[in-house]
Structure 1
């Protein structure tokens, strides 16, 4: 929700701080800088200090960053607080899959991971809808404070409900470094991270600018935020359904290809034609972008499922997530910037599909070459 509290508030922040469209793209993406630079460092931290402790630190950083951002009067300071939020997001994201696998029953682990993979879609729905409604009566700064308070409340809940980290004695820094080094030297986590990046490059950029795109198309009132929330929420639905497909034994490659092909086709349909002169054209765009988000959810759910299993023997599952986060969050950073630059250069959003199609084609090529069931050696029906 800290990531997705911004799109609905972006126009208000632009008015307050005087941001250009490209500046807005930087602000949308800069929350990913911490994840882009520190993913493996966060996995090392979790290896040494434990998963639950890392999760708690991450939530504290999110709360502090949001509270500080509420008092921003300059663009640079707001961007700095967004980077701090990004570090907190990273620390939660690195450890959560391994922590879920630790506490979930093996028979339901795939379904549990599907719910986890849906967190971005759920957060998009909740945060965008909440900001759309709240910002009719309060300033964006108040919304930042509300999110800080909500996040702070999770800390005692984690301490009360999540089992403590096992006592493994004094921190074994050398052993943790060796496990991470073995993981980084393995090809599959890199490929999975790049394919994930082909998804995040386009999903984060399109959904992040969707309220702006709809407003520029003449959609007024609360509707741009409401539609964006629903589109984002469909991503959560798709992730949860993906977990059930994994539980039934559907392998990774078909799901990845369906997701990537759908994202390519639907973004061409959304952006390439001039729908303004076509009766019902806006409805076609909404349906297309909803499919883009919902069917595209097959990709993060599948890759998150792979991530907890492809660490080499004596490797680190947290390091796989850390490496993947560094790669796909680099795409999360540059995606909005590229999309904003294309829109600025072309005078509109009609060429946005060039970025999304290119990303999908790269993802398809890598998935076909490296992520087939035979190469991965995974049976999705079993989790132990």
Structure 2
């Protein structure tokens, strides 16, 4: 892959929007779940399985799909991914049983992983060397912006079209997004498919020390961030008798502010920011905010302000990690497998976070101060692993920045 003299900003914007559209498929379910449960007549446990299916796919298959992308080519993998999102959406829109919804979410999860393990490499291919940190910072906003977009639009979509109409809407829009992103990717200097056995590429990625640390940091970060986003509405309504619509709006804003945090992280990288200090700074601020959110005493407005700072400061971490993937890759053909490991770590953190914090709060008799235990433990893991990552030599022999 040759270096570009100028960044293809249109391609960067289209690919970031494509990632946000993939995240919209993730975010469409939580606000619609009460309607789906009533329509299909299934309980909370089954609803939990439907919710967790996306993370289960990412947690188990992301690195394999990354290896497959390196072997077969990123254009094919992105096209396959969007086809899965459309197919899964149609199955969901026509579902009449929980089994059909589970199948729908599994297929959509495969599509989400297939697209998002490929696009970070294409973003690098679209950028000039001096802009790569900023470009990956822009890419980092795809998940919070897609989730927030869906959370804010969901009440209107569900009121106007119902949950099935919302599923149809995203399934119909997705092919147009796929065409736009594939059109931009064809103009980039992407490597030819390697033809190497994808299991070998995946195993090489799993054995790479830098990738292991990236996955660990993202796992611990996602544990904190996604857990707070998941439980914030419940925390506000149970502890402060906040109106549910107010709590939902606050949560959407807290999710959304992570996006400018990621952009700020990309700007810091462009200005020479180092991986280790960025991760440690971000997680230290998150830890202090966590204390203020859950300790007894502060008024609700201060807790909301701290949640906003928590989410913004967390935005320092994803750009630092995405930037590290190409540096630690044993070769260019391992980059998508490395992104798969990053996603696998993120999915693991999301999968275990909400249940662990819920268990801690339950053991504490419903007192939310008990959430501090697991949250602060994973803050510490993020900081320690981030420090080690900053000191880890890249294949060239020098640390990536500690």
Q: TM-score range by the shorter chain?
A: 0.7 to 0.9
Q: Show the counterpart of 1:189.
A: 211
How far is 1:25 from its partner?
A: 4.7
Instruction: Specify which structure has the bigger relative contact order, considering alpha-carbon pairs within 8 angstroms and separated by 6 or more residues.
Output: 1
**Quick one: distance in 2 between partners of 1:168 and 1:285?**
48
How do 1:1-384 residues align onto structure 2 when only pairs under 5 Å count? Answer: 1-16=24-39, 17-20=41-44, 24-163=47-186, 172-174=195-197, 177-216=199-238, 217-220=240-243, 222-273=245-296, 281-313=299-331, 316-345=334-363, 346-347=365-366, 349-368=368-387, 370-373=388-391, 375-376=393-394, 377=398
Which runs of no fewer than 5 residues in structure 2 stay unpaired?
Answer: 1-23
Please say which of residues 153-162 and 215-224 is displaced more in the overlay.
215-224
The answer to which of 245-254 and 208-217 deviates more is 208-217
Q: In the aligned structure 1, how far is the partner of 2:36 from the partner of 2:295? A: 29
- Counterpart Cα distance in 2 of 1:170 and 1:287: 47
1:57-109: per-residue Cα shift (whole Å, max 9, x none)? Answer: 11221222223223334444323322222111111111111111112222322
- Partner Cα separation in structure 2 for residue 8 and residue 243 of structure 1: 31
| 8 Å Cα contact 1:26-1:337 kept in structure 2 | no
How far 1:170 moved relative to its partner?
A: 8.1
Aligned in 2, Cα 1:69/1:274: closer, same or farther, shift over 3 Å? farther
C-alpha distance in 2, partners of 1:226/1:170? 44
Structure 2 CA distance for aligned equivalents of residues 10 and 213 of structure 1: 19
> Is the 1:29–1:335 contact (alpha carbons within 8 Å) kept by the matching residues of 2?
no
Does the C-alpha gap of structure 1 residues 185 and 258 become closer, same or farther in structure 2, counting only changes over 3 Å?
Answer: same
The change in CA–CA distance for 1:69 and 1:212 in structure 2 (over 3 A counts) is farther
Q: Extract unaligned runs of 5+ from structure 1.
A: 276-280
**SS in structure 2 opposite 1:172?**
coil
Return closer, same or farther for 1:339/1:48 CA change in 2, 3 Å cut-off: same
Cα 1:166/1:262, change in 2 over 3 Å: closer
Deviation at 1:302, TM superposition (A): 0.8
Q: Is the 8 A contact 1:3 1:31 kept in 2?
A: yes
Root-mean-square deviation (CA, aligned residues, Å) is 2.6
Partner Cα separation in structure 1 for residue 36 and residue 287 of structure 2 = 31
Report how far residue 210 of structure 1 moved: 3.0
* 2:6 alignment partner in structure 1: none
Normalising to structure 2: TM-score of the pair? 0.83
